[in-house]
Amino acid sequence: MSTSTAAVRSPRKIGAPVRWLLGKIGGGIFVLWAVATAIFFGIRMIPGDPAQAIMGGPGSQASAEALAAARTEYGLDQPLYLQYFGQLRRLATGDLGTSYSLKTPVADVLGELLPPTLILAGLALLVAWAMALGLGILSTRSGVLGSAVASGLEIVSAAVPHFWLASVLIMVFSTMLGWLPPVSTNTPAGLVLPVITLALPLAGFLGQVMRDTMETAQRSAFALSARARGESEVGVLLRHSLRHAALPGIALSGWALGSLLSGAVVVESIFARPGLGRTLLSAVTARDIPLVTGVALVSAAAYVVIMAFSDLAERLVDPRIGTP
């Protein structure tokens, strides 16, 4: 569709995708700057000495000399504005600094722990979509009662807290049935329970939104005319209603990824799974400023990218919005 029209586009129109891309990049940089700034000042407002955190917390009873040495080494003896601009300069060059608690470069920590979290969140998003669409299609095909049952299921699953769901799943599938391990390693079996834990509440939420749209679409004039043209019910569903239903789902997927990343804090801790969420939890507890900043920036970057993709996907699915 877009390939055939591109050739006759005016010069102004050819610039549109570039402008769209530049806009997204600019917006992304702004978000990252805002996150870095908020964290820099936010963390310094919490009482407690960063040099303490470097030396292993107040319990380590580090000597005054050791604390002074740590302050110098990490530049904490400089005025706040110099520290801030120094931090921005380092971040701009891609230097995320060294973790206080792990004593390793933050980039290395993230490089190791980002993939398992992305696998977890990505799979959960896919499974949530599959569940939401599956339930939506089933319920539109099974009348008012089916719709009511589906709606009830969605409301319940959307409201289930992650830690509760995780505990129940472990109890049933690990302890009682012995089918799946309660501790998640990178084996496929180890991923099942954490993915379901994250996917189920999200599927409930996505399902509510998508099924409503789907049902409205099924009753709409264009569905009627499609049926009149001899289109089968399945055809109407696949070619028309599903496309409508997908739109709010896609729009919500950027938001969903954010919720998946926060859900990962809980899920990774319960299933003892290495990842960004668990790292964030321990980094915050240890007041590990570089690591907290690194995790937040990577999450923000992921969010920006996903939002851009969902925007793009929305435009591809719905020609009314127009491709960039």
Partner 1 sequence: MTLARPLANRLFPAATALAAALVLAGCTPGTTTSDSSDTAGTPVTGGTLVYASGDAEPSCLDPHVGGNYPQALVASQFLETLYTKDADGTLIPWLAEGSTVSDDGLTRTVKIRQGISFTDGTALDAEAVKANFEHLLDPATASSTGYLALGKIASMKAVDAATLELALKTPDNSLLESFSMPWVAIESPAALKRTQAENCAAPVGTGPFKVESWKKQDSVNLVRNAAYASPDPAAAHAGTAYLDAITWRFIPEAATRIAALQAGEVQVIDNAQPDAIAAAAKNSAIKHLDAPRPGASNRVELNSSKAPFNDAKVREAFIHAVNIDASIDSLFFGTAPRSYSPLSSVEPLAYSDESLFDYDPAKAGELLDAAGWKERDAEGYRVKDGTRLSLSFPVSTSQSIPAEQSIFEQMQATAKESGIEIKINLLDISSWYGELAKNDYNLVSAPYTKVGPSVLSILFHSDSTIPAPSGYFANLSQVKNPALDALLDKAGSTSDEAERKDLYTQAQKLVLEGHYLLPLYDQQNHFLYSEKLQNVGATSAVATPLFTDTWLAN
CB atoms closer than 10 angstroms to residue 172: 13
What are the tokens at 82?
């110099």
What are the tokens at 301?
């970057």
Does residue 319 touch partner 1 according to CB under 8 A? no
Q: Near partner 1 by CB under 8 A, which window of 40-48, 127-135, 137-145, 296-304? A: 40-48
- Of 150, 191, 264, 286, the one binding partner 1 (CB under 8 A) is 286
Q: How far is the CB of 101 from partner 1 (least distance, A)?
A: 5
Q: What is the rounded distance in angstroms from the CA atom of residue 316 to the CA atom of residue 177? A: 45
Q: Looking at beta carbons only, is 114 or 307 nearer to partner 1?
A: 114
Q: What is the rounded distance in angstroms from the CA atom of residue 306 to the CA atom of residue 263? A: 17
Does residue 164 touch partner 1 according to CB under 8 A? yes
DSSP structural state of residue 58: G
Q: Looking at beta carbons only, is 31 or 102 nearer to partner 1?
A: 102
Q: 194 to 253, contacts with partner 1 by CB under 8 A?
A: none
Q: Looking at beta carbons only, is 109 or 132 nearer to partner 1?
A: 109
| Exposed/middle/buried for residue 185 (C-beta within 10 Å: 0-12, 13-18, 19+) | middle
- Of 110, 150, 270, 306, the one binding partner 1 (CB under 8 A) is 270
Does residue 3 touch partner 1 according to CB under 8 A? no
Does residue 187 touch partner 1 according to CB under 8 A? no
CA dist list (Å): 299 to 27, 69, 87, 258: 15, 32, 18, 8
**Do residues 316 and 75 make contact, with C-beta atoms less than 8 angstroms apart?**
no
Q: Looking at beta carbons only, is 28 or 57 nearer to partner 1?
A: 57
CA dist list (Å): 238 to 4, 226, 310: 25, 12, 20
Query: Minimal CA–CA distance to 249: which of 285, 206, 205?
Result: 206
CA 24, chain centre distance (Å): 18
Does residue 58 touch partner 1 according to CB under 8 A? yes
Q: How far is the CB of 278 from partner 1 (least distance, A)?
A: 6
Q: How far is the CB of 162 from partner 1 (least distance, A)?
A: 9
Q: Looking at beta carbons only, is 165 or 302 nearer to partner 1?
A: 165
**Do residues 178 and 205 make contact, with C-beta atoms less than 8 angstroms apart?**
no
Does residue 56 touch partner 1 according to CB under 8 A? yes
Q: Can you tell me which residue has the tokens 């969902």?
A: 310
Binding site for partner 1 (CB under 8 A): 46-49, 52-53, 55-67, 69, 101-104, 109, 112-113, 163-164, 166-168, 170-171, 174-176, 178, 181-183, 185, 266, 269-272, 274-275, 278-279, 281-282, 284-287
